[in-house]
Structure 1
Amino acid sequence: MTKPTVLFVCVHNAGRSQMAAGYLQHLAGDRVEVLSAGSRPGTSVNPVAVAAMAEEGIDIAGAQPKVLTEDAVRESDVVITMGCGDECPYFPGKRYEDWVLDDPAGQGLDVVRRVRDEIRARVEALIGELAPDPQRDR
């Protein structure tokens, strides 16, 4: 079985998609290939999102927002959009999900923590579907 590739997409690739990518990489390790991008990427990752993830022991400070490309969608098995679903290219045979989450842009740490925690729960469920931990099944 080949490892699945998951692409997280939000408008600026500065908050939600970066937190989701950080969680998936941290929790699934090398069992999943993780990509993230934005339909209109910002210039840097939201510092409040960086702080919220640091509280979880996950460093996303070095991440850079990237532009969404057709190639990224094409090479992904699962495409998860967060507020930009209409701007994401559609390719048959891909699994698409739209996660409705508040945008952390301009929000304080309390709001971003709530968004972060919701993202973690969704990422954990996604891992359970795509790449369960073989150590847990023993």
Structure 2
Amino acid sequence: MMHRARTLRPSRGLTLIGLLSWAIVVGFVGYVLVHVVPTVTEFFAIQRAVDRVAAEPAPTVPGLRAAFDKQKGIDQTITSLSGSDLDITKQNDKVVISFAYEKEVELVGPVYLLIKYRGQSK
């Protein structure tokens, strides 16, 4: 009787340790996204408000700041900036409103994520 030698093939598939590792990674990314998405939403709301204010003809810088504060009152998602935080300049007879701010997102205990946002009117 002749016995054939069996060739061992490496196992394929996901082990329990591998599955748990992926679950931890996906869970952490989801946790971070849940905390970061509101700050991104606020940034886009600020960008829209700045674009609206820059498109409206306002005679003075205080008028532009007041118009932004009015937009802020309409859109309740804007909490990080006020009209006094805007940098208002004029380039080629066009009003340019720029802004920059930082947002700290608490992740776990003493660990924070610092996000820096910057934008200007179009």
TM-score (norm 1): 0.21
Structure with higher helix content: 2
Q: TM-score, normalised by structure 2?
A: 0.24
Q: Which protein is richer in strand relative to its size? A: 2
Q: Which has the larger radius of gyration?
A: 2
* Higher relative contact order, chain-length normalized (CA < 8 Å, sep 6+): 1
